[in-house]
Chain A
Amino acid sequence: MSHPATPPRHPRRFRGPHGARRVQRTLGLLLPTLLLAACTGSPAAPRTDAAPASAAPQPTGPLCAALPTGTDPGNPSFLAGQPVDQALRWIPTLTTFEAALRTSGVLTDLPAGDGVTVLAPSDDAFAATFSEDNWDDLMTHHTDQLRTLLKAHLITGSHPIADLTTAGTATTLDGVTVTVTRTGPTTRLGDRADTVCADYQATNARIHIINAVLGPLPATADGTGHRAH
């Protein structure tokens, strides 16, 4: 006997676990994404070879090797066919950010169809910014602050990192404009965070993993990184 809630053992490319409905929706959303990609022949983009539409997404950055690759569950090709909230669940360094987005409901509040770009701080980034007590306090008692913090990591539209670099700035959903500059192999955002694995794709979305937390909240981590049991 198997239990129904378990994800598929062998992830299927470009198809979610819920069959035809998801496929239909995916195809509908995939088209504008591909059109957008086709229009962005930025010289800074690492690959200018007109990749076929079905080419596997190739996130780039120093952290990518530590994340599921190849045919591992949660690999980038599989995630490209997942809704963004599901895709975020598959990226094992985003447990803090993913739970916060889910708890706060920020993602579900986004207007449908516009697409989204997620600047996703890694778990290490959160641990280096907020003390465990402070983070629990934000998660349980300060939903408004939390939502503002999370909106500082979301941009309307699905943008490859090269597009953001070309534009030079991006405005996050909290209304703040951050600079986006190429710094060698990675990209720097808001003079604070660097991409560590950029250009994950999800349905009508891009996910760029970054190594620092953006937004207005003060750092409270004390450097010890842990509390007693």
Chain B
Amino acid sequence: MRRQRPTLIAVSTLIAVTLTTAPTPANAAPPDQVTALTAHQADGYTTLAWQPVDGATDYQIERTPVDADNTPTGAPTIVGIWRPNRQINQHAPTFADAGYNPGDTFQWRVRARTGTTEQPYSDPVTATTTAPWGNPTTPGEQLRTGWETTHAAQYTTDTDEYAYTAAIDALSDRVRVVELGRTVQNRPINMMVIGHPTPAATPEAVAATAPVAINCNVHGNEPGDREACLIMARQLAFSTDPRITDLLSHTTVLIVPTINGDGRANNTRGNSTGQDLNRDYSLIRQPETTAYITMVRDYRPVAGYDGHEFGNSRAGDLPMLPPRHQNVAQPIFDQSQDMIEGHMYAKGAEAGWWACPYGCEGGGNVGLSEETILRNTLGLKNVTNSLLELRSSGGQTRPDEGNTTNNRRRKTYSALWTFHQFLDYHRADRADILKARSEAIETQAANTGRLVFRGSRPIPAHPAPHPGDSPPPLDAPPADLILDNPPCAYKLTDAQYNDARTDGPGGVGTTVAQRIAAHGWKVITIGDDHYIPLNQPERGLIPLLLDGKGVEKLTDGERVYPTLTGRRNGPLAVTGFTCADDATINGPVTVRTGAALVTTATTISGPLIAAGAAGILLADSTINGPVRIATTGTISIIDATIAGPVDLSGNTAGTDAPVLAGTTIRGPLNCTGNNPTPHNLGIVNTVHGPRTTQCAAL
């Protein structure tokens, strides 16, 4: 509107002089003409912004290639259609124009349509677009992917990817490439570990930086996100932009370009056995998903994105969805929604990308609660995360994407925008993400509330204006897939736990024991029985694999319910597997050799002593007295309050690290001679006393 005001003055002056002819002055904007068009350049796209026209139904964005003298070198083309339901701030329309060769020069004009009536075009703006990132003569920056050098005619091949990531690794101190595993056909599954000035040295040290993880390509025939990941890796590795170095100084970025290298090479959705890997992240029957889940266990990302492409032509540019499974802790769902709706929708409205909920706009029965899907698996592992889809076709928004390479560019550069926004969100909201994670882990470990085997939280339509006409489908759990009374643990026989399986490639599957280990769950073994208690961080996921009601389960574990509830006075000697829930125990508790104690919502007034025990798992419990755990197998203390000294010593029998997290200790904390070393899952403990040796940093 800024430019219209002087025009009105000029017109009124003219009217006074020559009322009948009244030619519109050259600089006068008719009221329905778009004004104040601007073009802002970014990596692979141009944000066009303009003043809205009252009553406009939509806007058409025209692009014309021009040479250095501003002479057209091609035909003007309508490349974009903007409609009001696409962004949450409709008073400031923006459109991210992409799908051109970055570095070329264009002229843009925008016009409103009222119904189908085309209004006058805006004045043109001309700009040279941003060339592919990186100075062509600066070592490192000059690297290009196969996709970039072929102008998107070819996707980066597997061997190109390995050479490109190896070159980044060699030339940048910030990047370390690690091999997470191998595909069925023996292709490496690489991950770039990126930090500033260098990435932390070990998975445990990386975990302490609250890392973020991007899974770039699970479906081999959906390669757009992978190209964005490879480009972003180069930017993160070599950019001197303070924003980038600041991001990398505060976290570690984990980029897995291709977990499905076999499917990518064959352009198939599944891996080389035909298995859809995004239906396998809980079951981990395949080596590719096992590699990813093991990475999540070891590096403990706190936030994630999972890249896909989407064939529904009615969808937005960037459909997203949080983990919806109802066993996901509420704080993780809320934080994921905040990332999508609070951040991506708002930033999308600024940049001109149409981010919207996956499954809206007649998307069909998609985006549901299968825990086999990484979005839900990660949510059940207390990771704030989102699905990312790139709409395959130009769709309603982009009518000129018949050119395949231009279509590919739009998809990849929209993914690149999303991944950078993801890093910015993590940087700005890291404290909230970590708080959500802590609360989620403590909620899960408390093992309260019903369990749902399938069923999603609703995704309400974003408050109008919302980016899409309809919300994703409802997915309430059916009554027969709800368990109101959760058990304390699942008991597996030795056969269930250790027998060979046939559900992997070539009819050979890893054992349940190996899969539970890959998930990182605590197991207590007593004789031939193997107990998986629910008072641990992945409480929402465990029953989906081990309960008879599980829809896609590994085995039918036996539900074990608490044997110790209510008030109990006097000394207690624990033998066998003992589960206390909502109990008050007044007296000293001794866990005998080979026995195990699992507690939730329990208070023990007296010392808790375990020596040579099979396991101690305490959650949401209070110990009014000293705690001494020695030479014990499985140890986890989450969200406990301990009034007295705590001593963890000589615990070397367990295969995984003792956990001490979110616990308040009114007394000294001593940890010596434990192997592996105890860790805190990234949730600090409050210790009112000295901490020694192995627990000094907990």
Give chain A's interface residues, CB within 8 Å of chain B: 1-9, 65-68, 72-74, 89-93, 95-96, 98-100, 102-103, 127, 132-133, 135-137, 139-141, 224-229
Contacts and interface: CB of A to CB of B under 8 A. Distances in A.
A74 B404 CA distance: 12
B157 A5 contact: yes
B404 A93 contact: yes
Interface centre among A5, A68, A137 (most CB of B within 10 A): A5
B167 A1 contact: yes
14 contacts: A1-B171, A2-B142, A2-B143, A5-B159, A7-B149, A72-B151, A95-B155, A95-B267, A135-B269, A136-B276, A137-B274, A140-B273, A224-B311, A229-B308
A74 B154 contact: yes
Q: Looking at chain B, what size class is its interface with the partner chain?
A: 35 or more
Contacts of A99: 265-268
Contacts of A3: 143, 160, 163-164, 166-167
A132 to B, nearest CB: 5
Contact of B151 (A5, A68, A133, A136): A68
B268 A92 contact: no
A4 B154 contact: no
Interface stretch (B363-371, B461-469, B635-643): B363-371
Given A229-B358, A229-B366, A136 B270 contact: yes
B404 A226 contact: no
B691 to A, nearest CB: 44
Given A66-B402, A73-B149, A92-B408, A229 B268 contact: no
A140 B274 contact: yes
Contacts of B149: 6-9, 73
A93 B154 CA distance: 10
B144 interface: yes
Contacts of A92: 152-154, 404-405, 408
Interface of B: 139-140, 142-146, 149-155, 157, 159-160, 163-164, 166-167, 170-171, 221, 265-270, 272-274, 276, 278, 306, 308, 310-313, 321, 358, 364-368, 373, 375, 387, 389, 392, 402-405, 408
Given A90-B153, A99-B268, 17 more contacts: A1-B140, A2-B167, A5-B146, A5-B157, A7-B149, A7-B154, A67-B404, A92-B404, A92-B405, A98-B267, A136-B269, A139-B268, A139-B274, A140-B268, A226-B312, A228-B368, A229-B278
Given A1-B167, A5-B163, A226 B150 contact: no
Contacts of B167: 1-3
A229 B160 contact: no
Contacts of B364: 224, 228
A228 B159 CA distance: 29
Contact of B403 (A7, A66, A74, A141): A66
A8 B145 CA distance: 12
Nearest to B219: A229
Given A1-B171, A5-B163, A229-B278, A90 B404 contact: no
Contacts of B153: 68, 72-74, 90-92
Contact of B144 (A6, A68, A137, A140): A6
A184 B653 CA distance: 79
